[in-house]
Amino acid sequence: MVDIAIMGYGVVGSGVAEIITTHTQSLKKRAKEEINIKYILDIRDFPGNPLEDKFTKNFSDILNDDDVKVVVEVMGGLNPAYDYVKQCLEKGKSVVTSNKELVATKGAQLLQIARDKNVNFLFEASVGGGIPIIRPMSQCLAANDVIEIEGILNGTTNFILTKMIRDNMSFEDALSLAQSLGYAEKDPTADVEGYDALRKICILASLAYGKHVYPDGIHTEGISKITLDDVSYAEAWGGVIKLIGSVKKLDDGRLDIFVAPMILSKHNQLASVDDVFNGIMVKGDSTGDVVFYGKGAGKMPTASAVVADVIDCIKHFKARKYLYWADGDNSEYILPYGESVCAMYVRVKYADGVDIHSVVDDIFGGAQFINKQNPVENEAAFITNKMTVDHFHSLAEMLECNDVKIESQIRMGEE
């Protein structure tokens, strides 16, 4: 029998406890040991809970009990999660977490402690909820160099965009609906402005390239500026707008990494990933494109990924898993966003008398205008050739000098 502790009895924590107490026999078969929840750490009381006698408010109960071999951290946030996890690892306990903020900002350091102490620090649930992605990337794709990762990593924003695209709902209405369904938090900033997706793409990038990629300073655009006008132009062009986390290894070894809304062709496999689902495309030099798809969040999917990691810890007490990346410095290997190359969708309003086609053609050296069914007077949308983001901005300024106002600009996905 192996004793474990669960830190945090929120949505995911209670799901972990539920799986462990209801799947006892099948888990025992898979782990070759019975899993016993010895402690649940939470500052709240849960009177009448069947696990009531396991609850503690005192972290040191867990830290100082040498019987506890595996600690599950599902509190979320950096404090006190970081401090607790660090202490557990230093005490020689394996830790499993679903906490993407923790892994994205402190991963290298915690992985190093785990390595030094010969214990495991696993975090499958931190990206893609119940979709297996960390493990397949680190193991099955071991014989590949990862060239590119592109993912719909946040279910809340994908739900909002899907409602905008399918039901012509405004951003505000779709956000309210997401909140009323429990998909979005009261303060939706982390989802809507792309910070959640950023943490996840940083974790995947760190794993793929072996050096820690810190979220700080990486270009992050959310979806709050996306309008139904843009949705309909994208549709007229034959595409959909998705919030994408993307990282690509350039020939010079640097990483082109960002989070931004992008217009994807309907032929792109991620274009059909709708609602709260996540989809992650990993391009390996040998495998080609491999796509993982499923529910990226939610109590039971996330909890099941946590429990799978717990089983893995128990099976590997003697042979540590080789999940690892080194610490590093973004400035050494992250491409400044201004140097990132893409085609750009642009929607503009222009003054009466402006010959918009010739102005745009002159400035951008040609562009593909999008014709939609109900054209709006003095409005146009076009797609530029590929250029660096910096170059685009300098041309965009010239546009504004010609009585043309840019209403929105969205990266185009690769063909």
Question: What distance in Å separates the CA atoms of residue 7 and residue 306, rounded to the nearest whole number?
Answer: 12
Q: Which of residues 11-30 bind its own copies (CB under 8 A)?
A: 15, 19, 23, 26-27, 30
Considering only residues 177, 290, 354, 395, which one is a binding residue for its own copies as defined by CB under 8 A?
Answer: 290
Q: Which of residues 141-200 bind its own copies (CB under 8 A)?
A: 141-145
Which amino acid would we find at residue 176?
S
The three-state secondary structure class of 255 is strand
State yes or no: residue 298 binds its own copies (CB under 8 A).
yes
- Largest Cα separation within the chain, whole Å, is 80
Question: How many chain residues interact with its own copies (CB under 8 A)?
Answer: 53
Is 200 one of the catalytic residues? yes
Cβ atoms of 184 and 156 within 8 Å: the answer is: yes
At its nearest, how many Å lie between its own copies and the CB of residue 287? 4
DSSP string, 192-221: HTSHHHHHHHHHHHHHHHSB---STT--B-
Structure tokens at 363: 């400035």
Q: Which of residues 81-140 bind its own copies (CB under 8 A)?
A: 124, 129-132, 135-136, 139-140
At its nearest, how many Å lie between its own copies and the CB of residue 244? 17
- Identify which of residues 23 and 86 has a Cβ nearer to its own copies in the complex: 23
State yes or no: residue 305 binds its own copies (CB under 8 A).
yes
At its nearest, how many Å lie between its own copies and the CB of residue 284? 7
DSSP string, 233-249: HHHHHTEEEEEEEEEEE
Q: Which residues contact 5 (CB under 8 A, 6 or more apart)?
A: 37, 38, 39, 40, 41, 62, 65, 68, 70, 71, 72
Stretch that binds its own copies, among 74-82, 95-103, 192-200, 289-297 (CB under 8 A): 289-297
- Identify which of residues 63 and 250 has a Cβ nearer to its own copies in the complex: 250
Structure tokens at 358: 């010739």
Question: What distance in Å separates the CA atoms of residue 233 and residue 408, rounded to the nearest whole number?
Answer: 11
Stretch that binds its own copies, among 52-60, 314-322, 346-354, 379-387 (CB under 8 A): 314-322
Considering only residues 312, 337, 347, 396, which one is a binding residue for its own copies as defined by CB under 8 A?
Answer: 312
* Among 75, 100, 101, CA closest to 88: 75
From the list 38, 200, 242, 283, the catalytic residue is 200
Chain residues in the site for its own copies (CB under 8 A)? 15, 19, 23, 26-27, 30-32, 124, 129-132, 135-136, 139-145, 269, 272, 284-295, 298, 300-301, 303-308, 310-312, 315-316, 318-319, 322
Q: Looking at the annotation, which residues are catalytic? A: 200
